[in-house]
Structure 1
Amino acid sequence: MIITILSGGVGGARFARGVREHLRRSLPDAELRIIVNTGDDMWLAGLRITPDLDSVMYTLARANDEERGWGRIGETERASAELNAYGVGWPWFTLGDLDLGTHIARSSFLRDGQTLSQATARITSRWDLGALLIPVTDSEVETHVTVEGGELHFQEWWTRHRARLPALGFVQRGIEGAVATDAALAAIRDADVVLVAPSNPVVSIGTILGIPGIRDALAATAAPIVGVSPIIGGAIVRGMADACLTAIGVETTAPAVAAHYGARSAGGLLDAWLVDTVDASASYDVPTTAVPLWMRDLDTSAQLASDALAAARL
């Protein structure tokens, strides 16, 4: 059995960890493939930074900082302090020393002529991830946010301004000419189940869906596609996805996000939709199952994964 996840960063990483745990407990022969958003990527201080790929990798490797929610556990930041002293990089976007090792390795591989997929395969090979991490594209596609007066890279809007500047829209620079990786297309084509993680619907899952070829592959796959709501009781689970949803005119509710994705039977994305029990009484355009969505620990995360796979049989 092949389970494929469409994932963004922290929320997607935690969901992927739960899916891996469920598979290890109940379906040890299953294969887990994770297609990861690359729209948050950027060049900074001469290095290629891939926040979502790294969040998923560190989480599955048990090397992530759970308290901060990002980066490596036990980090120091001496190198970033030196870069700031030289006026290099963004002082509000701190890269830990261990994290810098990952970025330096990736950038070295890319400058040697390897693709992002090849570089990712080399970087992830040092860890026992129990999953295959797949960049959705090897093309450089970077999300920018349109605000009054111009555009900001998504990371500046998100990290520096904490999404407080009203967003007028989102632009994925380079997406028209981007090419989905062969591995991403194969992961969708060969899947027995496709799971849409509770990641940001606009800049994470939305960017994945915007890569040419991905929507067609999802429409054609024989696998059921099950989405997990990132909204519980009208509030975001993590991050500032509400600011992104507001910018595109979507309410921060589980039914609104379901309608945003749409039912595959009507030309949309989803065959099934998981919402929290507090949202059970709402009306949905997609076949919906209500289960506890809070991933409080490994057991509750694994149970959510089990519920998502069960929903695939609807």
Structure 2
Amino acid sequence: MSGHVLALCGGVGGAKLALGLSLILPPERLTVVINTGDDFTHLGLRICPDIDTVTYTLGGLSNTELGWGRSGESWEFMENLRTLGGPDWFNLGDKDLATHVERTRRLMAGEPLSAITADFAAKHGIGPALVPMTDDEVATIIETDDGDLAFQHYFVRDRCQPEVRGIRFEGAEDAMPSPGLIAALKGPLDAIVICPSNPFLSVDPLLALPGIREALAGHEAPVIAVSPIVGGKAIKGPTAKLMGELGLDVTAASIVHHYRGLLDGFVLDSEDSDLAGRLSVSTYVTNTVMKTIEDRTGLARAVLDFAIRLKGRA
């Protein structure tokens, strides 16, 4: 494989595979497009959780114990905010805070999120292109029995406890895909990889942008998704709970159906090998649980090998 790879991802799970891809591909051959539906303004600061998770992960800065935020973090800001009676439901570490302050300053000065994200990545020594899905604001809204909730209120403040009745992406229909996303889709690609991020919360916002679903479905490069479900459970986050509340079976087959019309291939975990041959797309069975660096690079190699096989078949 000598061409370009486009990876679509959200936060923690997607960042793990993005890291694996970055370790086996030359940097100029990888573009990572990141969900921004989780972005929100808090304490006057523009916070981009998935962008920061991917940036910290690929930059070797992530807090592996918490699974989010910076390593070696301190919390004096939060302690003082709590003393003053400020909202403390969303933790902002002292190192992490600098990212949000500088991003907000530059956004207010008129810089697009794409340029700021690329600059932060470069300053952290990251070679592959890190690209927000859009420079416009898109907000993931969770519809619950308790009313509509902004994503971070549902996910962090309320700890995913409200039952979900629906999801919508405010502003998506009027948002422009970012220049980096458009350029990647127009160029030659060896593979388009949908990372094992939450399909409903992390990937669907990207697919809701005008023209993106059609561009992916019509692209000559194989589109491959990695299952976020292993043995009827989600590796990380509320995917399984969400699927149940939306009336879906918590299986990898439901994920394939959700991405219907987009996929050329689907990567199953070995625990779900019984589904191979029973799905509507070609499958590849391997270990998808990424606990170590070797797991991440191993899965990345498996995905790219699968892409080569699908291109050859085409």
Range into which the TM-score falls when normalised by the shorter chain: over 0.9
Deviates more, 1:243-252 or 1:8-17: 243-252
Name the structure 1 match of 2:297. 302
How many Å separate the matches in 2 of 1:247 and 1:141? 24
Partner of 1:77: 75
Which residue number in structure 1 is paired with residue 10 of structure 2?
8
**3-state SS in 2 of match to 1:176:** helix
Q: Is the 8 A contact 1:232 1:254 kept in 2?
A: yes
Structure 1 Cα separation of the partners of residues 134 and 28 of structure 2: 24
**Once structures 1 and 2 are overlaid, which stretch shifts more, 179-188 or 98-107?**
179-188
Question: What do the CA deviations read for 1:142-165 (whole angstroms, capped 9, x no partner)?
Answer: 111111231111111111222111
Q: Residue 250 of structure 1 contacts residue 260 of structure 1 at CA under 8 Å; is this kept in 2?
A: no
Letter in 2 for 1:273: F
Out of 136, 146, 149, the residue aligned to residue 149 of structure 1 is 146
Distance 1:253 1:91 in 2: 36
Q: Distance in 2 between matches of 1:156 and 1:164?
A: 11
Cα gap change, 1:104 to 1:292, in 2 (>3 Å): same
Question: Is 1:181–2:178 an aligned residue pair?
Answer: yes
Please list the CA deviations of residues 110-135 of structure 1 after superposition, one character each: whole Å capped at 9, or x if unmatched.
Answer: 00001111121222220112211100
1:308 counterpart SS class: helix
Q: Which runs of 5+ in 1 are unaligned?
A: 263-267
Give the equivalent residue in structure 2 for 1:55.
53
Corresponding residue for 1:265?
A: none
Q: Deviation per CA, 1:160-207: give whole Å up to 9, x if none.
A: 222111011112111121111121022123222110100001010111
Partner of 1:110: 107
Provide TM-score, normalisation by structure 1. 0.93
Partner SS for 2:199:
coil
- Contact 1:179/1:213 (8 A) holds in 2: no
Aligned equivalents of 2:109, 2:204: Cα separation in 1: 31
Contact 1:203–1:244 (8 Å) recurs in 2: no
Matched, 1:271 2:268: no
- How far has the Cα of 1:20 moved from its partner? 1.3
Q: How many residues align?
A: 304
Report the alpha carbon displacement of residue 279 of structure 1 after superposing the two structures with TM. Answer: 0.8
Cα distance in 2, alignment partners of residues 29 and 104 from structure 1: 28
Runs of 4+ in 1 over 4 A off after TM superposition: none
* Matched position secondary structure for 1:172: strand
Q: Does 1:122 align with 2:152?
A: no
Q: Secondary structure at the match of 1:202?
A: helix
Correspondence list, 1:247-262, <5 A = 247-262=245-260
In 1, Cα distance between the equivalents of 2:39 and 2:49? 6
Contact 1:37-1:207 at 8 Å conserved across structures: yes
Match of 1:290 among 278, 285, 290: 285
Letter matched to residue 157 of structure 1: Y
Say if 1:273 and 1:286, in contact at 8 Å, map to a contact too. yes
Q: Distance in 2 between matches of 1:298 and 1:122?
A: 26
Output the CA distance in 2 between the equivalents of 1:250 and 1:110: 39
Q: 1:185 to 1:247 in 2, by over 3 A?
A: farther
Query: Which residue identity is paired with 2:240?
Result: D
Provide the rounded CA distance (Å) in 2 between the counterparts of 1:84 and 1:142.
27
- SS of the equivalent of 1:204 reads helix
The answer for unaligned runs of 5 or more in structure 2 is none
Which residue of structure 1 lines up, in the alignment, with residue 202 of structure 2?
A: 204
Rounded to whole Å, the distance in 1 between the matches of 2:241 and 2:186 is 33
SS across alignment from 1:163: coil
Over the aligned positions, Cα root-mean-square deviation in angstroms equals 1.4
Please state how far the C-alpha of 1:295 moved relative to its aligned partner: 1.1
Whether contact under 8 Å (1:58, 1:71) holds in the other structure is yes
SS in 2 for 1:275: strand
User: Following the alignment from structure 2 to structure 1, what is the Cα–Cα distance between the partners of residues 85 and 206?
Assistant: 34
* 2:27/2:128 contact within 8 Å kept: no
